[in-house]
Structure 1
Amino acid sequence: MIDALLGILLCQLIGEVISRGLRLPVPGPVVGMLLLFAILRWRGGPPPQLSTTAHGLLTHLPLLFVPAGVGVIVHIPLLIREGLPLFAAIIVSTTITLLVTGLTVHRLYRRK
């Protein structure tokens, strides 16, 4: 389990180094996740130990949202002041995401 966790954290660290070193507009953990995905695809899938570790982490995923929730509560005056633009951005980005996802799935199903 420790080896698998170290592998996940190493991918995140390498992603952070790449993101900062190349000044990418993408967060380091996202680059690390893409790196981990590429490695797992190249190896033909995750080893059992990594699957077990990932399942354990996903089981406790809701706990990772607690700091974000506390951060939102701390910034309530800012949210009140900037609420309308934030709400508009959320609605527009969600709509675009749904449309792009729907079109992508539709085109992929047509290819089959």
Structure 2
Amino acid sequence: MGEICHAVLPLPIPASIYGLLLLLAALRFGIVKLEQVKEVGLFLTSIFPLLFVPAAAGVMELWAEMGEMLLPIVIAIIPVTVLVLVSAGRTTQALTSRRAARKEAEHD
């Protein structure tokens, strides 16, 4: 489905992102149950660090060419890392407070 969306829609979004959004919508609307994908999700998150090995090997291979660009790379990486940490933290806080409010409303 993600590949179809990528082929049909004129947006510069990878098919894998469309697929993740479709899976999120299917989970949210109950089309797919969490139990149906939980085992695969746990497996993928357990091997997640291994997925970065090829990227790290590529960086090590190109280290000589990247040496002269090290300062701009570091200048770009630091704010992006902070932005990702802040947005992930805010999202987690919002979801946690929403879940707590929902539980509190159920108890009333």
Pick aligned residue for 1:78 from 60, 65, 68: 65
Map 1:8-19 → 2, pairs under 5 A: 14-19=1-6
Flag as ranges the 4+ runs of structure 1 deviating above 4 A: 98-111
Structure 1 counterpart of 2:33, which letter? P
Identity %: 36
TM-score of the pair, normalised by structure 1: 0.65
Q: Could you give the per-residue CA deviations for residues 48-96 of structure 1, whole angstroms, max 9, x where no partner exists?
A: 2321121122222221111111111111122212111111111122233
Q: Which runs of 5+ in 2 are unaligned?
A: 99-108
Structure 2 counterpart of 1:31, which letter? Y
Structure 1 counterpart of 2:77, which letter? I
RMSD of the alignment, in Å? 3.0
Q: Which has the higher contact order (CA 8 A, sep 6+)?
A: 1
| 2:75 match | 88
